[in-house]
Structure 1
Amino acid sequence: MTADDRAPAGNNTSLMILAWSWVGIPFAYGVYELFQKLTQLFGG
């Protein structure tokens, strides 16, 4: 692989931010909801 075959660094960074957000935001929301339900279940 030569330097010409790779994507520019800025484009790769933007894609990584988008990918992490696509997975991370719903995951964080799910964890938040899970803890709310656990506190209702065990905390009273």
Structure 2
Amino acid sequence: MSSDSSQSPPSRRGLIAFAWVWVGAPLVYGLYELVQKATQLFTG
């Protein structure tokens, strides 16, 4: 194999980081809301 797939070109790293934030931010927010609702449900 001539190409090394473990290293991304610098132009793609920004895109990959943006994609992780794009998916991760709503995921973290959703988990936070889930914990808040579960806490209210079980503590009254």
Residue 43 of structure 1 and its aligned partner are, at CA, apart by: 1.8
Q: How many residues get paired? A: 39
Which residues of structure 1 form unaligned runs of 5+? none
Q: What percentage of aligned pairs have identical amino acids?
A: 49
Question: What CA RMSD, in Å, does the superposition of the two structures yield over aligned residues?
Answer: 1.7
- State the TM-score, normalizing by the size of structure 1: 0.77
Matches of 1:23 and 1:36, distance apart in 2: 20
- State the TM-score, normalizing by the size of structure 2: 0.77
Equivalent residue number for residue 43 of structure 1? 43
Equivalent residue number for residue 12 of structure 1? 12
Which residues of structure 2 form unaligned runs of 5+? none
Larger relative helix fraction? 1
Q: What secondary structure does 2:11 align onto?
A: helix
